[in-house]
Structure 1
Amino acid sequence: MSGIGVLREGPLHAALKDALAGPGDRTEVKVGRYVIDLVRADGELVEIQTGGFGPLGPKLDALLDQHRVRIVHPIAAERRIVRVDEHGEVLSTRRSPRRATAVELFDRLVTFPSLLAHPNLTLEVVLTREDHIRGAAPVKKRRRTLDSGQRRLVEIVDRIVLATPADALGLLPPLPAAPFTTKELAALVGCRTVLAQRTAYCLHVMELVEPAGKRGRAPLHLARQG
């Protein structure tokens, strides 16, 4: 593997757009004031969002009531770290020990969890194998370690579609019948506490769980029945 090229964001987005496009679909289409990544032959607007969902807010406000919109969000189920020099030549490769799951969607969905109830909105999680292309070594700046790079698609592993709030429960193991804390949710899911907190917030907004008092200082959550 050589000639990786300059380090900048974009290849993952472009590769997904190519991979997801079907017969009759059009890319980079202007709809109103916005350019849409992919317009399906049946009229669905597809936006590929590799980062946070916040920047999509104005576009969704303008388009969602008149158009069916699908937000596609890639999550790296497997990742390889590839170090390159200034000429793009590969210096080293290693497998990242981190294995992300579709639960990571809640980290993004926290921006507007209530929108999943909109009849025109669909979310699609694309689980991927990726190469993360980075410079020869991390850079220190103001006591912070910077190790930015670009994500490159190797393979699409799975695709999970969420069309209603209830579909979000499919990203999680079955919730306890008894009240639970976010710490217990984190242990159940196998994720960090902050992600469990964001997950619980999304589930509350989508009316999939409800407050159930406290255990000591920790708020309790209870899965709604039916």
Structure 2
Amino acid sequence: MSGIGVLREGPLHAAVKDLLARPGDTAEVPFGRYVIDLVRADGELVEIQTGGFSPLGPKLDALLDGHRMRIVHPVAAERRIVRVDEHGEVLSSRRSPLRGVALDVFDRLVSFPSLLAHPNLTVEVLLCREDHIRAPEAGRSRSGRRRRDPGERRLVDVLGSEVLASPVDAAALLPDVLGVGGEPFTTRELAGALGCRMLLAQRVAYCLRAMDVLADAGKRGRAPLHRRVG
């Protein structure tokens, strides 16, 4: 059963697992009908999730009440796009302008935001330097759309981490100046304060309301308002 888990993992997942492993830990451990990426010597179950969190839902439902669990999510704080040929030879490389931040985890937390209040759950965001390995540009399809190779992510270095063990930790990602004194704010104002795109700000607001960090504060025109709780 452990072999199945190893075969399915990509290079980023494998590299993060190797990086996190400590003496006494066990990798690819069967737990009933599930397989856990790492089981710590102290009993903590560690799951490395490079994509969306929704596939973890059944596993969390089955195991979280009886076990301490940690979801480790790598985010590309710095990335380099590397084009290779069919033999793996590097054709070109360039620095991507995209910069991931710890806040990006809210894109994933929308799957089960209220679970962060569970005393057994911790979410750790790894801020990574990555290479994104892709095939050469493939031109355009008959429809005129550019063909894009999603490639694979490879870990180069870990630059830092952010640990969210409770809604309080999630609330700490909000700027101090936002909602001071209970002043309500819109999602657009949240996006401006966070310096993020509107869609991410909407997901941040949704998650923090599910965690009771933010509450409904009516509307300003047609825009919903939020306020800090407590």
TM-score (norm 2): 0.91
RMSD between aligned residues: 1.4
Cα distance in 1, alignment partners of residues 174 and 75 from structure 2: 15
Q: For residue 212 of structure 1, what is the aligned residue in structure 2?
A: 217
Which runs of 5 or more residues in structure 1 are unaligned?
1-7
Alpha-carbon distance change, 140 to 169 in structure 1, aligned in 2, over 3 angstroms: farther
Note if contact 1:45-1:67 (Cα within 8 Å) is conserved in structure 2.
yes
Aligned length: 218
Whether 1:136 aligns to 2:136 is: yes
Note if contact 1:9-1:151 (Cα within 8 Å) is conserved in structure 2.
no
Alpha-carbon distance change, 214 to 128 in structure 1, aligned in 2, over 3 angstroms: same
Note if contact 1:80-1:131 (Cα within 8 Å) is conserved in structure 2.
yes
Q: For residue 86 of structure 1, what is the aligned residue in structure 2?
A: 86
- Superposed displacement of residue 172, structure 1: 2.8
Amino acid at match of 1:204: R
Which structure has more helix as a fraction of its residues? 2
Q: For residue 208 of structure 2, what is the aligned residue in structure 1?
A: 203
Give 3-state SS (helix, strand or coil) of 1:64's partner: helix
- Superposed displacement of residue 171, structure 1: 2.4
Cα distance in 1, alignment partners of residues 69 and 145 from structure 2: 38
Amino acid at match of 2:157: E
Cα distance in 2, alignment partners of residues 23 and 143 from structure 1: 53
Matches within 5 A, 1:83-122: 83-122=83-122
The alignment-based identity, stated in percent, is 69
Cα distance in 2, alignment partners of residues 105 and 10 from structure 1: 20
Note if contact 1:103-1:172 (Cα within 8 Å) is conserved in structure 2.
no
From 149, 152, 168, the counterpart of 1:147: 149
Alpha-carbon distance change, 69 to 144 in structure 1, aligned in 2, over 3 angstroms: farther
> What CA deviation, in whole Å up to 9, does each residue of 1:190-209 have, x standing for no partner?
11000000000001000001
> What CA deviation, in whole Å up to 9, does each residue of 1:161-213 have, x standing for no partner?
11111110222322322211111111111110000000000010000011111
Whether 1:188 aligns to 2:193 is: yes
- Superposed displacement of residue 33, structure 1: 1.1
Following TM superposition, where does structure 1 have runs of at least 4 consecutive aligned residues deviating by more than 3 angstroms? 138-145
- Superposed displacement of residue 9, structure 1: 6.7
TM-score (norm 1): 0.93
Which runs of 5 or more residues in structure 2 are unaligned?
1-7
Q: For residue 164 of structure 1, what is the aligned residue in structure 2?
A: 166
> What CA deviation, in whole Å up to 9, does each residue of 1:78-125 have, x standing for no partner?
000001111111000000001111000000001100000111111101
Higher normalized contact order (CA 8 Å, seq sep 6+, divided by chain length): 1
Alpha-carbon distance change, 213 to 138 in structure 1, aligned in 2, over 3 angstroms: farther
Amino acid at match of 2:23: P
Amino acid at match of 1:164: S
Q: For residue 3 of structure 2, what is the aligned residue in structure 1?
A: none
Q: For residue 33 of structure 2, what is the aligned residue in structure 1?
A: 33
Give 3-state SS (helix, strand or coil) of 1:171's partner: coil
- Superposed displacement of residue 134, structure 1: 0.7
Alpha-carbon distance change, 222 to 43 in structure 1, aligned in 2, over 3 angstroms: same
Cα distance in 2, alignment partners of residues 106 and 31 from structure 1: 28
Cα distance in 1, alignment partners of residues 34 and 107 from structure 2: 25
Give 3-state SS (helix, strand or coil) of 2:50's partner: coil
Cα distance in 1, alignment partners of residues 139 and 63 from structure 2: 41
